């Protein structure tokens, strides 16, 4: 589907301009290198109080949950970031999401009052 891009007026950083251009499109961007940006379909969205994800990288799902919670989730092992998963969870039920990770993947959850850290199980 083709649709016109919104006008981006004024002074913006590259990140700011990309966020404006891609807002509400279902697309995301990431830097491939210092001169190249890749634009792709978002595989994680928040809809009606749920985080919904399909074949999404764990890092993207965690990022979306972090938009809805005070206690942030951190991925300690970069290899975990690329795990692919699908599902949907209430935005206010991070505990259920964490239990899925712990029971379905080689992931150990370390929780403190302020944060949650995901590490690879040994």
What residue spans define the domains of the chain? 1-42, 44-120
Tens-level pLDDT at each residue, the chain (122 residues) = 566 777 888 898 988 888 888 877 777 788 889 889 888 776 787 888 999 998 899 999 999 999 999 999 999 999 999 999 999 999 999 999 999 999 999 999 999 999 999 999 98
> Is the torsion defined by CA of 52, 87, 98, 38 positive or negative?
negative
Closest of 107, 20, 94 to residue 64, by C-alpha:
94
pLDDT of residue 3: 66
CATH of span 44-120: 3.55.50.30
């Amino acid at each position: 589907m083709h649709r016109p891009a919104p006008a981006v007026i004024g002074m913006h950083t590259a990140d700011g301009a990309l966020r404006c251009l891609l807002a509400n499109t279902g697309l995301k961007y990431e830097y491939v290198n210092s001169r190249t940006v890749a634009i792709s379909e978002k595989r994680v969205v928040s809809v009606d109080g749920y985080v919904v994800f399909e074949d999404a990288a764990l890092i993207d799902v965690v990022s979306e949950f972090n938009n809805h919670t005070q206690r942030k989730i951190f991925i300690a092992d970069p290899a975990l970031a690329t795990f692919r998963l699908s599902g949907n969870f209430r935005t206010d039920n991070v505990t259920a999401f964490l239990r899925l990770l712990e029971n379905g993947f080689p992931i150990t959850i370390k929780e403190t009052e302020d944060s949650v850290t995901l590490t690879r199980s040994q």
